[in-house]
Amino acid sequence: MNNLKKPAAIEGSMARALAKTRKVGGSIMVTIPKEVAEQEDIREGELVEIEVKKAKRSGFGIDPEVGSMTREDELDTHF
């Protein structure tokens, strides 16, 4: 029997981050970045709500005169 109780309502803040997937056994896994876990005070074993959305590549960086995409640029593109 499942001991998890469905919460009446999900409240609180929501942090956003990009995470790369990896295969573990038959599952696809993502890791919550340390900064996000600290910001949201998430500990091992806690139940978290996730929203999954595949990040789409943009045309950013195609022009050779434009520098490489930074992590900040990447986050701005997707959020």
Would you say residue 57 lies in a domain? no
Say how far apart CA 16 and CA 33 lie, in whole Å.
10
Would you say residue 71 lies in a domain? yes
| Chain mean position to CA 36 | 9
Q: Where are the alpha helices (DSSP H) in the chain?
A: 34-39, 71-78
Would you say residue 75 lies in a domain? yes
Whole-prediction pTM: 0.52
Of residues 41 and 67, more confidence is placed in 41
Number of structural domains (the chain) is 1
Would you say residue 10 lies in a domain? no
What are 24-63's pLDDT values in tens digits? 999 999 999 999 999 999 999 999 998 888 887 666 556 6
CB atoms within 10 A of CB 68: 7
Specify the pLDDT at position 15: 83
Would you say residue 60 lies in a domain? no
Would you say residue 11 lies in a domain? no
- Length of the chain equals 79
Range of 24's domain?
17-52+67-79
Would you say residue 4 lies in a domain? no
